[in-house]
Each structure stands twice: as C-alpha cells, then as structure tokens.
Amino acid sequence: MGRRFSIPLKFFGVFFLTILLVAGAFTATLNNLRQQVSRNEARAVADQVTAFRSWVAQSGMVWVQKLAPGFHDFLDEQTDAKGGVFYGKNPALATRELAAVAQRESARASFRVTSDNWRKKDNAPDAFEAAAIARFKGDKTLEFVEQYEGGKYRYAQPLLLEQGCLQCHGDPKDAPRAVLEKYGSEKAFGYKVGQVRGIVSVTVPALGLNDVLKSLANPYALTLLFISLLLNILFIRSVVVRLVALTRNAEAIASGKLETVLHYTNPSESNDELDHLYHAVNLLKRSLVILFKRVNPQGGK
C-alpha cells in the first residue's frame, strides 16, 4: 500500500486529465467535421455531374459543330442540309470531356463515371469503385460510399437509370445505330429505370487533421484558452497554495513554534472555508500559548 497523494498532486492530476479528455473530445469532433467538409465538397461535385449528365441524356446527345483540340471522340456524326457536319456526344463521353477540362484547369476535385458493366475499357472501375458499385446494388437506400486513400478523400454516389438513358441502355432495338456499330448490342443494355447503372466517383484532396488543428490558432480560441488558464491559476493560488501553507503552519505550531503567524481574512468577512480553518487553527494556537503560560509562568518569552 503506497502513500496517499497530496492535494496539489491530485489537483494537477485532475487538471491535466480534464485537459486531455477535453482535447480528445475536441479532436474527435474536429475529425468528424473534417470528413463532413470533404464529403460535402465531393457531393456537390457529384450532384453537378449527375445533373449535367441528366441534361445531356434528356437532349439525347449533345451535338457539336467543332471538335475542340484534344476532344476528337464522338459517338455519332450527322450532316445537315447545308452540308455542315455535327458530332454527337453521349452523356458518358461529355462527362469525360468535362472532367478533362476540369483537370486541365487544375480544379480541386477530379471525377469520373464508371460501371461494373462497362462498354468502354477506359470506364472500368478500380478496387474502391467496384466495391462501391457492389454495395449500391445490394442496398438501394445507401446514398454514398467514402474512403481515405493516401492523402485523398474518395467518394462515390450511385448513378441511377433515368427515362432519358433508356434509348441507349434499355432495349438494343431502340438504340441509335452509332451505339450498336461502335459497342455492339451486348454491352450495357437491358437496364430498367431506377437500376444502378454505375457511379459518379469523386476524389478531393483530404483535409489533414493538421489543417484542422491549425484553424484552432485563431484569436478567439486563443483568448478563451488564455482565460481558462488564468482562472486555473487563480484557483491554484486561492485554494491549493493556501492549503499547503496552512498545513505547513499547523505542523510548525504542533512542533512547538508558537510564534508562527497565520495570514487570513477574518471569518466574519469571508465565506471561504479555508479562512475559517485558518481562524480555528489560530484559536487553537492562542489556547496553546495561554495553556503553556499557565503551566510554566516563568518560562517562554
């Protein structure tokens, strides 16, 4: 059995433990928040991509008159009455080109569309994407899948089949000739509205815990921390330090040093229990002085 701890030690123990626990709770909250921020960022991108694709699908395809440098791919080709050539871009292709433009302009987020049942090899999913697709197919209520991967935050959102997608992903009979010519009648047909056709996969730079902690170094947080430190110092001075001093004084009196002077506020002006304790010890000391004088009238000072 060891000795019991001193009150200052207990106080500092509780103080530091409280700080550690509060810091722990704070870090957990910040960590949560950091994930939320990345999720919202990725989700905003995914929603935009889905809306854009939906617009393209509702228009059937987008027809462009000029193939911009680096964007030579197209699904279909048409010539109008005046002999002008138009190139048709299906939603997946338009999305790929949009992603390339975003990449070129070094946007924070990169995105793509992929499926377990792909027509084009470039659209094949990687491990995270394949796992996400499997999960969305198994659970229709699942809204997103996320994962941290080497400093990146990855996010996937299901891409459901809409009415506008049917012409190219429903019955091959309805499909534009160009789709059948280019990809055949086997791949990525036979879908029904509402089925998981694939996913929108978004990658954004992960917010490090360091970045989040750095945001703590703002004037408001620092002022509050400083005030809480000041309050603790005041408490240590008014309770812990005085308790230790009283213990020393009482020990000195007990060992016969009756000249020991006790400093405290009179109990008539204080509700502080320590002042009352100081006062009681002081009364005991005076009684001792009187008692000693009676026992030994010549001795003493």
Name the site residues for ligand HEC (rule: CB under 6 A): 53-54, 57, 60-61, 75, 90-93, 113, 115, 118-120, 123, 159, 161-162, 164-165, 167-169, 176, 179, 183, 188, 197-198
Task: State which residue, 34 or 169, has the beta carbon closest to ligand HEC.
Answer: 169
**Tokens 């694939």 belong to residue:** 198
Integer Rg of the chain from CA: 38
Q: Are 97 and 106 in contact (CB under 8 A)?
A: no
CA end-to-end span of the chain: 44
Smallest gap, in angstroms, from Cβ of residue 153 to ligand HEC? Answer: 22
Please report how close the Cβ of residue 122 comes to ligand HEC at its closest, in angstroms. Answer: 7
Sequence length of the chain is: 301
| Closer of 98 and 289 to ligand HEC (Cβ) | 98
Q: In whole angstroms, how close is the CB of 120 to ligand HEC at the nearest point? A: 4
In 3D, which of 35, 207, 202 has the Cα closest to residue 128? Answer: 202
Shorter beta-carbon distance to ligand HEC: residue 35 or 117: 117
Q: What are phi and psi of 191, to 5 degrees?
A: -80, 155
Taking the complex as a whole, how short is the minimal distance between the CB of residue 177 and ligand HEC, in angstroms? 11
Non-local CB neighbours of 45 within 8 Å, separated by 6+ positions: 109, 111, 202, 204
Residues 153 and 110: their CA atoms lie apart, in Å, by 11
| 274 neighbors 239 (Cβ within 8 angstroms) | yes
Complex with ligand HEC: residue 181 or 259, whichever CB lies closer? 181
Rounded distance between C-alpha atoms, residue 178 and residue 81, angstroms: 20
We find the least distance from the C-beta atom of residue 58 to ligand HEC, in angstroms, to be 8
Amino acid symbol at 83:
G
CB 218, min distance to ligand HEC, A: 43
Q: Which C-beta is closer to ligand HEC: that of 75 or that of 202?
A: 75
Q: Which is nearer to ligand HEC, 38 or 123 (CB)?
A: 123
